[in-house]
Chains A and B, each alone.
Chain A
Amino acid sequence: MAQPKAVIRNRIRVKRFEHGEMTQQALADLVGVSRQTINAIESAKYFPSLEVAFRISRVFGKPLDEVFECEFTK
């Protein structure tokens, strides 16, 4: 059975700017990944594990679905 395709988006860039224009490096240090990984997540070149996704949401003090969203398309 064909499954609908999941398109995952994130609002990390927006959330960073809402948090005092937090830099990618600052977020990376708080999450425990490299700055390049944050950059890759923001530009949808890499989809993080659930653990890292939760860590990012925790930094912003928001629930996961406010930072990440998933849309299913046919």
Chain B
Amino acid sequence: MGTSFEEKSVWIQLASMVLGLGTYFIIAGGMLSGGVREVPAFATLFLFATAFMAVLLIAGHIVAAIASRPEGRDERDRLISWRAEHNSSWVVAAGVCGAVTCMILGIENVWTANLLLLSLALSEVLGFVLQLIYYRRGL
């Protein structure tokens, strides 16, 4: 079975997220271990990572659109997306619980912010992986 434009789009989103936010977390980890604690420094880094991700997403979708005709989402694509989101959203919930715990314990804001961001990134990555599994194995 060939790959639809929607499935290719999921691959592109997954790769962009892993490369973009992966780069952010590698650099942010280095900054944290180097003693940087100012949130604006991480916000700037995050902005660059987001811009990098956007470039990858746009370039990837242009290439995919040239390679195969975009058909638009149908009911199967929507169901796969909903089910993957439903089964991956617990990661964000766990991250929020962790962030609240960090605040109660008085841990520095920079850790809380990065924990929230990490949970959001992991939730998205899990969602994309689940979508690809549902596309390949069926619902």
Contacts and interface: CB of A to CB of B under 8 A. Distances in A.
Interface of A: 32-37, 39-40, 43-49, 51-52
B138 A35 contact: no
Interface stretch (B27-35, B74-82, B90-98, B120-128): B74-82
B70 to A, nearest CB: 10
Interface stretch (B2-10, B11-19, B54-62, B111-119): B2-10
B29 to A, nearest CB: 39
Contacts of A33: 74-76
A35 B2 contact: yes
Given A35-B2, A45-B138, A48-B75, 17 more contacts: A32-B74, A33-B75, A33-B76, A34-B6, A36-B1, A36-B2, A36-B3, A37-B75, A37-B76, A43-B1, A45-B137, A45-B139, A46-B76, A46-B139, A47-B139, A51-B75, A52-B75
A38 B71 CA distance: 13
Interface of B: 1-4, 6-7, 71, 74-77, 135, 137-139
18 contacts: A33-B75, A33-B76, A34-B71, A36-B1, A36-B2, A36-B3, A36-B76, A36-B135, A37-B75, A37-B76, A37-B77, A40-B76, A43-B138, A45-B137, A46-B139, A47-B139, A48-B76, A52-B75
A36 B75 contact: no
A34 B3 CA distance: 10
A35 B4 contact: yes
Contacts of B3: 36
A56 B70 CA distance: 22
A36 B4 contact: yes
A40 B74 contact: no
Nearest to A33: B74
